[in-house]
Amino acid sequence: MSAERPHATRPLNTRPDGQGREAPLLEAVGITSGYDGIPAVREVSLHVRPGEVVALLGANGAGKTTTLLTLAGEVPLQSGEVRWCGAKARGPLFKRARAGLGLLTEERSLFMGLTVQENLRLGRGPVGRALDTMPELRELINRRAGLLSGGQQQMLTLARALAGEFKVLMLDEFSLGLAPIIVRRLLSLLREAVAEQNFGVLLVEQHVASALSFSDRAIVLRQGEIVLEGDSDQLRSRTDEIARAYL
């Protein structure tokens, strides 16, 4: 599968180094973190700039979710540093969320007994903006979230997040269990929103081909360490190396 990746429409700020790139919004600088004192990720460094989608790939247990939770402030650092908009990130997830960091977990973050409209009202952005982002939801506006299909639930989850205008959105396996046509629709929507709003995305995605088609850069983790990274266009020709990282 191939896809055109639209570029951000806002002008980029020139960095002091003269490279014409905006400074990273979110950075991990040599982070090591884990559970009960046992590291699950080791010396991981990555960054997300405005207007780009970065894919985080790896087999189950590679440390992808732990990396996201560490960046979000849910898993404590053992060493290294997380930076938000150039400054050291402090505080728990809810404070980072208020500052513009969004996290969508693989569990669908919906109130299943509430309607589509009621779920959208609980988001950071206006209901109308969410519906403009995902017009398919208009005919479902009064349906309870628990009665939606899996794909419709993820449409609702993503539309609510995109309406909130986060600076960086982290998505953890949000396409899990969905049909390929729905995955393509959601990733296309995400790409369009990045181009229009110039926010950054860190995407954990199980479908490697889809992730490389819709991202700008990709990072491959194995046993908590980065083993491969680069531009997604280049990595699409190195699928054998990516496959070895999964084994």
Using DSSP, state whether 82 is helix, strand or coil: strand
pLDDT for the residue numbered 18: 44
pLDDT for the residue numbered 202: 98
pLDDT for the residue numbered 211: 93
What pTM was estimated for this model as a whole? 0.88
Q: Which domain holds residue 49?
A: 1-98+168-175+202-247
**Sheet arrangement for strand 217-222:** 101-104, 168-172, 200-204, 53-57, 217-222, 225-231
pLDDT for the residue numbered 10: 34
**Integer CA distances (angstroms), 244 to 43, 63, 161, 193, in order:** 21, 16, 34, 33
Q: Name residues of the chain where pLDDT drops below 70.
A: 1-20, 247
With beta carbons less than 8 A apart as the criterion, state whether 198 and 10 touch. yes
Rounded Cα–Cα distance for residues 51 and 196 (Å): 9
pLDDT for the residue numbered 4: 44
User: Structurally, how many domains does the chain consist of?
Assistant: 1
- 207 inside domain: yes
pLDDT for the residue numbered 19: 55
Cα angle: 129, vertex 113, 103; to 5 degrees: 50
Q: What is the CATH number of the domain that holds 6?
A: 3.40.50.300
pLDDT for the residue numbered 174: 85
- 34 inside domain: yes
Using DSSP, state whether 16 is helix, strand or coil: coil
pLDDT, one tens digit per residue, over 77-115 is 999 999 999 999 988 999 999 999 999 987 778 999 999
